[in-house]
Amino acid sequence: MGHRVVVVDDLSGGFEENIPKEAEFFPWDITEPVLVEELFKQVRPDYVYHFACYAAEGLSHFIKRFNYGNNLLGSVNLINCAVNYEVKCFVFTSSMAVYGSQQVPFREEMIPMPEDSYGIAKYAVERELEISHKMFRLPYVIFRPHNVFGERQNIGDKYRNVVGIFMNQCLKGEPMTIFGNGNQMRAFSYVGGVAPIISECVDNPKALNRTFNIGSDYPITVNQLSEDVATVMKYPWRVARFDVRQEVAKAFCDHSKLERVFGEIKSLSHMAALLRMAEWVKEHGARQSKEFKDIEITKNLPPSWVHA
Ligand SMILES: NC(=O)c1ccc[n+]([C@@H]2O[C@H](COP(=O)([O-])OP(=O)(O)OC[C@H]3O[C@@H](n4cnc5c(N)ncnc54)[C@H](O)[C@@H]3O)[C@@H](O)[C@H]2O)c1
């Protein structure tokens, strides 16, 4: 598309090898307002695609201060500069977590009722964008993705990305770990279907200043996912069950609003997408999960998340 692309990532959860060579890279932390100001001064971006986040939804209950500092205040630093430097469009990946445990499938007109700190931070950023548009005419597009997976994902974070966690466990010869009975339902969404829509949204006038669910229409249980992962990894199905943890039982979305504006998502089928990720994971190898160091509340922390 001929744009100059600048990537900002402090590599707290990402990997430099995933950044295309043609992109300029600033290994900066968005929670540092002075750095964010310097970035906008140097780059003067037309568009901001804001994905930076620590998206460990379940863990967010136990790391509230970090969650709001990183995911909310970091976002506010970007919004301030986007207003001051007159960005043409601010694209934000919120999350299905804003809905909480309402009737599925979640629809955009439902009033958000997030049930964890991650979802609350996402909803606060959404509202900030809405009022920054009203007050300062900052154009925005908000996406609420859900359970995205695919090649290059961080498979070494034991607190998030269940597809990656399962595949990593297969590679290490460990059983796949499931919280509770595994009947939780999610629609796992291949990144190859979701990413093109997000990247092209700024050129679609019908998308401006609106919010969209985005992802797969194919909800399955976590038990089913574990079987599917075992199949594509060619690994005998083996699971270890942990106590149920505080999480929404059924979470998936309606995408008719997205389809009206962008058309249908063009994606690989569920099994073809899992297979493609499995091939990448096998080639790439297992990753060691890092412990999250600064847990702020240890009460009710799932035992498997307590540091050894
Ligand atoms: N993956 C999903 O299923 C999913 C679902 C809903 C929403 N989202 C949202 O989409 C976005 C991308 O998610 P992802 O799964 O690709 O996550 P990811 O962890 O792979 O990518 C987020 C990146 O942000 C970087 N980062 C974190 N804090 C930073 C900071 N303070 N300064 C600079 N960089 C920082 C990390 O290093 C990482 O590379 C996030 O905003 C997430 O909340 C993801």
* Span 199-205, average pLDDT: 97
The stretch 290-301 carries a mean pLDDT of: 94
Q: Whose CA is nearest to atom 23 of ligand 1?
A: 52
Q: Any idea what DSSP says for residue 302?
A: -
Q: What is the pLDDT of residues 151-188, one digit of tens each?
A: 999 999 999 999 999 999 999 999 999 999 999 999 99
Q: Mean pLDDT lowest for which of 131-140, 207-216, 298-307?
A: 298-307
Q: Is the beta carbon of 247 within 6 A of some atom in ligand 1? A: no
Distance 55 CA to ligand 1 centre (A): 6
pLDDT of residue 246: 86
Ligand 1 pocket mutation, candidates 51, 163, 213, 290, criterion most atoms within 8 A of CB: 51
CB 150 within 8 A of CB 215: no
- 228 confidence band (pLDDT: 50, 70, 90): very high
Q: How far is the C-alpha of 22 from the C-alpha of 202, rounded, in Å?
A: 21
Quote helix, strand, coil % in the chain, to nearest 5: 40, 15, 45
Ligand 1 proximity of 30 Cβ (cutoff 6 Å):
yes
Put the strands of the sheet holding 140-145 in their side by side order. 47-50, 89-93, 140-145, 210-214
Tell me the mean pLDDT in the region 14-19.
97
With the C-alpha atoms ordered 208, 209, 215, 218, is the resulting torsion angle positive or negative? negative
Ligand 1 centroid vs 52 CA: distance in angstroms?
A: 5
- Does any ligand 1 atom lie closer than 6 A to the CB of residue 75? no
- pLDDT of amino acid 138: 98
State how far the Cα of 275 lies from the Cα of 284, in Å rounded to an integer: 14
Kindly give the distance from the C-alpha atom of residue 219 to the centroid of ligand 1, in angstroms, as a whole number.
22
Minimum CA distance residue for ligand 1 atom 40: 51
Q: Is the CB of 70 under 6 A from ligand 1?
A: yes
Q: What mean pLDDT do residues 233-256 have?
A: 95
The pLDDT of residue 6: 98
Q: What angle do CA 280, 283, 286 make, to 5 degrees?
A: 90
Residue 308 pLDDT exceeds 70 = no
What's the pLDDT score for residue 213?
98
Under 8 Å CB-to-CB from 20, ≥6 apart: which residues? 5
pLDDT at 2: 85
Please give the pLDDT value at position 26: 98
For residue 307, the model assigns a pLDDT of 76
**207 Cβ neighbours under 8 A, 6+ residues apart:** 141, 201, 261, 262
Average confidence (pLDDT) over 126-143: 98
Average pLDDT over the chain reads 97
pLDDT digits (tens, 9 = 90+) for 67-92: 999 999 999 999 999 999 999 999 99
Whether the CB of 69 sits within 6 Å of ligand 1: no
pLDDT single digits (tens) 110-125 = 999 999 999 999 999 9
Mean pLDDT of 104-114: 98
Residue-wise pLDDT for 257-293, tens only, equals 999 999 999 999 999 999 999 999 999 999 988 889 9
pLDDT at residue number 268: 97
At residue 211, does pLDDT exceed 90?
yes
d(CA 88, CA 2): 17
Is the beta carbon of 114 within 6 A of some atom in ligand 1? Answer: no
Confidence (pTM): 0.98
Q: Give the pLDDT band (50/70/90) at residue 306.
A: confident
Which pair of tokens denotes residue 90? 């601010």
Is 57's C-beta closer than 6 angstroms to any atom of ligand 1?
no
CA-proximal residue: ligand 1, atom 42 (nearest): 55
